Amino acid sequence: MSDPLLSLLERYWGYTAFRPMQREAMDAILAGRDSLVVMPTGGGKSLCFQVPALAHDNGLAIVVSPLIALMKDQVDTLVGNGVAAAGFHSGMTSDARQDVASGLVAGRYRLLYVAPERLVGEGSQSFRSLVGRQPVRFIAVDEAHCISQWGHDFRPEYRQLADLRRVWPDVSLHAFTATATARVRRDILSQLDLRNPAELVGSFDRPNLVYRVLIRSNLKRQLQDVLARHRGEAGIVYCQSRREVDALAEWLRESGVRAVPYHAGLADDERHRNQDAFLNEEIDVVVATVAFGMGIDRSDVRFVVHAGAPQSLEHYQQEAGRAGRDGLEAECLLIYSGGDFARWRAMAEESGDGAARRALLRDMERYAGSVGCRHRRLVGYFGERFEKDACGACDYCLGELEAMPNAIEIARKILSAVARVQQRFGVAHVINVLRGRDTEMVSGRGHQHLSVFGLFRDASADELRGYVDQLIARGLLRQTDDAYPVLQLTTEGVQLMKDAGAVSDLELARLKPPPKGTKSADRRTKTEVASWDGVDRELFEMLRSLRLSLARSRGVPPYVIFHDTTLRELARHRPRTIEALRHVYGVGARKADDLGEAVLEVIREHEAGARSS
C-alpha cells in the first residue's frame, strides 16, 4: 500500500477504510493547520489524532482529555494495538508515573494523554520540561466542548488551555468534540485561539441507531418489551429521578436482569463499582440519571431507553448516542409523557434563562410528538439535510406507526372536546370524555351530556394521548405550565375548529399493532438481520467468553480486547490460520500476534464440537 495513513490504519487497527471526515481531519494535522473537528459520538474522532501521531518515527503528540477513565480506555486500547502510548495522571501509582516520565525523556512514546492542568497553569513547568526534550508534533484537545460554559460538561480546568498557544506557539492545536451547537463551536475557536482553523463538521446521522418513541403508559411492560429484544445485551435506562432509578434497578434485578443503579446520590465507591461492573461486562443494564455519562466507552451498548423526556434534543442526542458506538445496530427508545415537559418547564421558570430553556424544550417536545422520519428530524435539528427518503431505522420508516387517513377529522373532534370542557381540564379528563368514560369527574361536571362525549369509544387511552401529543407538537393545542396542566387551544387550533381547510398537511399516526403471530418484542430491522447474517451465534458467544477472560486476566475492559464487530466477523468467517485472521476487520498485526492463537483455539474447539455432535 502506498498511502501511509491507510497502511498505519491497517497495520495497527485492522481497518481498511476511513470513515467520513477522518481523512480530512488527519490531513489538517499533518499539514500543521489548526482544526476543529465535530463528529457524533462513535464517529471515530480518536483515530483522527491517533493515526497521524504515528506518521513520524519520533516526536510526541499530546492529547488533552478531561477524564482519567477516558485516558485509561484510550491508552489501553492503543497499547493493545501495539502503539507506543501512555497516560500521565493522578489515577496512576507514583511508580507508574515515574516509569512514564523516564519513557518521555527517552522519547519512547508517540502519544501522551494528560489532563489540562498538567500542561498549563501553576506547577506545570516541571512536567513540560519532561516533554520538551523531543519535538511536540501537535496537541489534540479531546472533548473540547468542556471549555465552553454553553456546553453541558463545562470544566473550569479547560479554561487554562488558552495558555497552550503561549507555551507552544509553533505547535498546531486540534480540537475535537461531539457537541455541535454553533455557540459552543465559536467558544472553542476563540478560547483556544485557533489560527485559520480547518472546521470539519461530520454528519450527525447515526444510521445504525433505530429510533423509537412511545408514550408512557405501563412503563414496566414497555421496558419488558425492549429487554426482550435485547436479552443478555448491554443497555442503559435513563430515568428522571434517583427514586425511580433505585426502584427500576431493583425491579429489573428481581426479574432476573443483571442491572445496577447509578446516580449522584450513591456513595462514591458504590457508584464507581457499578460503573466498572458495567464496563467490565459483569452486568448488562445500568439504570441511571444523566449523571451517568461521559467516559462510558463501552462500545457494545445495544439499547438506550429514556424513561422520561430529556430537556433538549442536544441532551437526547448525547445520551442516546451512547448506543452502538461499534457501528452495529442499536435501539434508542424514548418513553415520555406530557408531564415530563411540564416538570422541565417549571424548572426552567426557576432558573435565570427560562426563555432559552423553554425553546429547547419545545424542540424536544416536537420531536417526541412528531410524525415522520426521526433520523431526518434529528439531523435537521442540527442543521443538516437528510438526503435519504426513508431511513429504514425509525418507528415511522419501519411502518410501526400507522398514518391516520382522517387526521383533520380526528384533530377537530379532539379540539372540540377541549373547547367543550372550557379549556379547564387536563389531558386525562379530555381523554375520558372522548372515550365515553363515566368517571367521577365526568359525572360530577355533567360532561357525559356533552356532544363530544364518547366520540372515540373504541380507541385506547394511549392512542388518544398520542394524538393529543402530536397536536401539541404541531402547535394546535398547548398545555399550561400549572401544577395541574390544562389543555388549551392555540390560535391555529381555533382556526382549524372553524374551518377544516385552515391547516394543510396535518398528519396523525398511531402505533400499529405488530402483525399477528409475532410478539411485540420481535421488531428487527434489516440492518440488524444483515449484521448477523452468516454469524455462528454459538461461536460468537464462545468468543465473547474468551474476550471476557482475556480482559479479566489483563485488567482491561473487554471492548479494549475486541469489539463486537470483530467477534461477529470472526464467527462469520471462522479463520483457521493466523494469516487469515489478520484479514479480519479490527484485527491489527499486534492483536493477531498477541491474541491470534487463543482465538484460533476457540474456533478449532467449536469446529470439533460441531463435528462430534
Minimum distance from residue 13 beta carbon to ligand ADP (Å): 6
Minimum distance from residue 518 beta carbon to Zn ion (Å): 21
CB of 137 or CB of 563, closer to ligand ADP: 563
In 3-state terms, what secondary structure has residue 538?
Answer: helix
- Closest CB to ligand ADP belongs to which residue? 44
Measured from the Cβ of residue 93, the count of other Cβ atoms closer than 10 Å reads: 8
- Do residues 48 and 25 make contact, with C-beta atoms less than 8 angstroms apart? yes
Among 251, 266, 297, smallest CA distance to 71 is for: 297
Q: Locate 339 and state its grid cell.
A: 408531564
Place of cell 451512547: 322
Cα distances (Å, whole numbers) of residue 201 to 9, 45, 53, 515: 22, 11, 21, 41
CB of 37 or CB of 248, closer to ligand ADP: 37
Q: What is the β-pairing status of strands 136-141 and 60-64? A: parallel
369 binds ligand ADP (CB under 6 A): no
CB of 141 or CB of 371, closer to Zn ion: 371
317 binds ligand ADP (CB under 6 A): no
Which entry of Zn ion, ligand ADP, none binds 43, CB below 5 to 8 A by partner kind? Answer: ligand ADP
Minimum distance from residue 395 beta carbon to Zn ion (Å): 8
CB of 207 or CB of 436, closer to Zn ion: 207
19 binds ligand ADP (CB under 6 A): yes
By CB under 6 A, the residues from 411 to 430 that bind ligand ADP are none
As a whole number of angstroms, the distance between CA 191 and CA 511 comes to 47
As a whole number of angstroms, the distance between CA 271 and CA 287 comes to 12
CB of 375 or CB of 606, closer to Zn ion: 375
CB of 214 or CB of 323, closer to ligand ADP: 323
Q: What is the β-pairing status of strands 477-479 and 487-489? A: antiparallel
Cα dihedral across residues 246, 248, 252, 254: positive or negative: positive
Q: Locate 529 and state its grid cell.
A: 438481520
As a whole number of angstroms, the distance between CA 340 and CA 336 comes to 7
394 binds Zn ion (CB under 5 A): yes
Cα dihedral across residues 24, 29, 31, 37: positive or negative: positive
- Which of 563, 568, 591, 606 touches ligand ADP by CB under 6 A? 563
CB of 394 or CB of 472, closer to Zn ion: 394
Which entry of ligand ADP, Zn ion, none binds 340, CB below 5 to 8 A by partner kind? Answer: none
373 binds Zn ion (CB under 5 A): yes
39 binds Zn ion (CB under 5 A): no
Among 242, 237, 206, smallest CA distance to 306 is for: 237
- Which of 118, 165, 230, 325 touches ligand ADP by CB under 6 A? 325
Among 419, 413, 439, 416, smallest CA distance to 428 is for: 439
- The residue range among 254-262, 314-322, 367-375, 488-496 that interacts with Zn ion, by the rule CB under 5 A, is 367-375
Dihedral pair phi/psi, residue 46, rounded to 5°: -60, -35
Burial, 220: exposed, middle or buried (Cβ in 10 Å; 0-12, 13-18, 19+)? exposed
Minimum distance from residue 465 beta carbon to Zn ion (Å): 22
Which entry of ligand ADP, Zn ion, none binds 373, CB below 5 to 8 A by partner kind? Answer: Zn ion
CB of 211 or CB of 303, closer to Zn ion: 211
Angle of helix 537-554 relative to helix 589-612, nearest 10 degrees? 130
Binding mask 33-72 for ligand ADP (x = CB under 6 A): ------x-xxxxxxx-------------------------
- Which of 299, 370, 479, 525 touches ligand ADP by CB under 6 A? 299
- Do residues 71 and 50 make contact, with C-beta atoms less than 8 angstroms apart? no
Minimum distance from residue 560 beta carbon to ligand ADP (Å): 10
CB of 369 or CB of 586, closer to ligand ADP: 586
Cα distances (Å, whole numbers) of residue 327 to 48, 156, 206, 334, 566: 17, 33, 8, 20, 11
Q: How many residues at the interface with ligand ADP, by CB under 6 A?
A: 17
Which entry of ligand ADP, Zn ion, none binds 391, CB below 5 to 8 A by partner kind? Answer: Zn ion
Among 564, 509, 557, smallest CA distance to 535 is for: 564
Which entry of ligand ADP, Zn ion, none binds 299, CB below 5 to 8 A by partner kind? Answer: ligand ADP
Q: Would you tell me which residues interact with ligand ADP (CB under 6 A)?
A: 15, 17-19, 22, 39, 41-47, 299, 325-326, 563
Residues in contact with Zn ion by CB under 5 A are: 373, 375, 391, 394, 397
